Amino acid sequence: MFEANTVGHGLHYAIVSGPDGIHFAAAGADEDKMFAGLVRYIKQRCGFTLWPRDANAVISLVEAGRMTDAIEMYFDRVGDRWDREYLELVPPTRSVRAAG
């Protein structure tokens, strides 16, 4: 559960969208928690959205603890096999401004 003061500082958001709209959104009190949700999404989807070789490389990066490299590779390669996906990262300052 978030501490009461977390809301005042905003949340980190990751929004994944494609040509047909928003596919996924993750939020976290810090960047690591937000990235954890995004990595779960990527792990679930990469076998369907990436070519097998690329999916295996993304999973290997995740298993090696290289989360940002896995995220970068996923969004670099997604779209080569099926529809493109786009990642928007929203920092806490923008999330507080949007809410206020």
Q: What is the largest CA-CA distance in the chain?
A: 44
Q: Angle 75-63-40 (CA atoms, 0-180°, nearest 5)? A: 55
β-pair partners for 18: 21
The per-residue pLDDT for range 78-96, each reduced to its tens digit, is 999 989 999 999 988 765 5
pLDDT digits (tens, 9 = 90+) for 24-64: 999 999 999 999 999 999 999 999 999 999 999 999 999 99
